[in-house]
Amino acid sequence: MQGPRKLPDLVESIYDAGLDPALWNNVVTGIRDFVGGQACGLFSKDSISKFGVTHYYCGADPHYIQLYSETHSKFDPLTVLPPHGRIVSIPDLVDFDGYRRGRFYQEWMQPQGCSDAANVVLDASNASCPVMMTVLSGRRMVDPAMKHRLSLIVPHASRALLINRAIDSRLTLATALADVLDNLASGVFLLDASCRMVHANSAGHDLLAAADVVRSVAGQLVTCSLEANQMLREAFAARSETALLAARGSAIPLLSPSGERYVAHVLPLSSVLRNGSERVADAVGALLLRKVSLQGQSYGELVARTFDLTPAELRVFLSIVEVGGVPETAAALGIAETTAKTHLHRVFAKTGVSRQADLVKLAAGFANPLVN
């Protein structure tokens, strides 16, 4: 058994486990040795079903850990849990003579050579399934000295579990957001003040691998348009949400060398997301890049219904977006250029835009944002 002189080292290891839950197995061993017990474990117990799950333990045979979860958690003396942070032994909970005649003692404690245990609720944030610690004392009873030593540990273990829960919550949120981003068809690039990439989603990595509309040059995001590159450099270099918000108001049409049309949008990241840090590696904004594609009859029908376009006008609209200008559209549809221009002017009137580039931006709004 380690003496109180080792308490600072044990407390340090407890907070290390707060940052890395994988360390708890070593921590419960240190707690067992410090308190002076035979075994120690962290477990959860459902207050309704009485079902118990041991998360970390030492000094017990895995067979008995499994038996506890499957059967004996329903018969242990913890039918009514003690208040949070209060250390109780078995005689504090039930009549000890009656307990020794019961299944829990006869089938679980006694075969392990144990009579008593010190128990404490460490985390009651989930009232229906609190997290507890138990120290099995072996053949001897839990005495005041054991309770005192355990009391020195309890506040730190409780805080470490709260740290675990907070980190897990943040990681769960970050994972969920990453999954959402990776299911977008749009490329999403988080950029720092020099347009260096801090992060890209799956679609963004695919675009970079194609090296068509965007490329990575020494870590910087570079588009196929010199004009767009200049605008992005100026907006992100300003480091201010005002400049990025101003850039957000303008969709940036891009025509890749292979002839594919894209639309880019700038999105500022709030100071909350950036934590107010001024490190060069921090993202100050995001660039959303999506391919203009209206493939599928349903998209055409949606565009037509939205702007009340005739079938001929819709064909011209889609051709302008996907093929190019009036001459290209006329050739692709097999109509005269004058006819194509007539339909195009009607499309302009119905959609409220006046340039072909604006039709490209407008069309991007109808693209499916999810990965197909």
- My answer on whether 68 and 192 are in the same domain is no
Question: Which of 291, 306, 341 is a domain's end point?
Answer: 291
Asked if residue 369 is part of any domain, the answer here is no
- HSE-CB of 329 using CA atoms within 13 angstroms: 23
* pLDDT band for position 193 (cuts 50, 70, 90): confident
Residue 109 has pLDDT above 90, yes or no: yes
The predicted-structure confidence for 308-362, as pLDDT tens digits, reads as follows 999 899 889 888 887 778 998 898 889 999 999 999 999 999 989 888 888 877 7
- My answer on whether 148 and 86 are in the same domain is yes
Q: What contacts 255, CB < 8 A, 6 or more positions away?
A: 224, 225, 261, 262
With H, G, I as helix, E, B as strand and everything else as coil, classify residue 304. Answer: helix
CATH of the domain at 129: 3.30.450.80
Asked if residue 338 is part of any domain, the answer here is yes
Average pLDDT, the chain: 85
Q: What is the pLDDT of residue 243?
A: 57
CATH of the domain at 341: 1.10.10.10
Asked if residue 371 is part of any domain, the answer here is no
E strand residue ranges, the chain: 39-45, 52-58, 88-89, 116-123, 131-138, 187-191, 197-200, 214-217, 220-223, 252-255, 261-268, 285-291
- My answer on whether 161 and 193 are in the same domain is no
- My answer on whether 352 and 253 are in the same domain is no
Residue 280 has pLDDT above 70, yes or no: no
Q: What are phi and psi for residue 361, nearest 5 degrees?
A: -65, -40
Q: What is the pLDDT of residue 271?
A: 45
The pairing of strands 214-217 and 220-223 is antiparallel
Distance CA 276, CA 146 (A): 47
Higher pLDDT among residues 362 and 86, named by residue: 86
CATH of the domain at 231: 3.30.450
- Average pLDDT over every residue of 86-109: 94
Higher pLDDT among residues 288 and 369, named by residue: 288
- My answer on whether 210 and 69 are in the same domain is no
Question: Which of 175, 202, 224 is a domain's end point?
Answer: 175
Question: Which of 154, 175, 196 is a domain's end point?
Answer: 175
- My answer on whether 124 and 63 are in the same domain is yes
Minimal CA–CA distance to 368: which of 202, 183, 155, 121?
183
Output b/e per residue, 315-341; b: 16+ Cβ within 10 A.
Answer: bbbbbbbbbbebeebbebbebeeeebe
Distance CA 340, CA 335 (A): 7
The predicted-structure confidence for 128-141, as pLDDT tens digits, reads as follows 788 999 999 989 99
CB-based contact 182:172 (threshold 8 Å): no
- My answer on whether 191 and 125 are in the same domain is no
Full domain range(s) for residue 332: 297-364
Distance CA 372, CA 360 (A): 21
Asked if residue 22 is part of any domain, the answer here is yes
Asked if residue 121 is part of any domain, the answer here is yes
DSSP 141: P
Distance CA 316, CA 329 (A): 7
- My answer on whether 321 and 285 are in the same domain is no
Distance CA 150, CA 10 (A): 12
- My answer on whether 230 and 324 are in the same domain is no
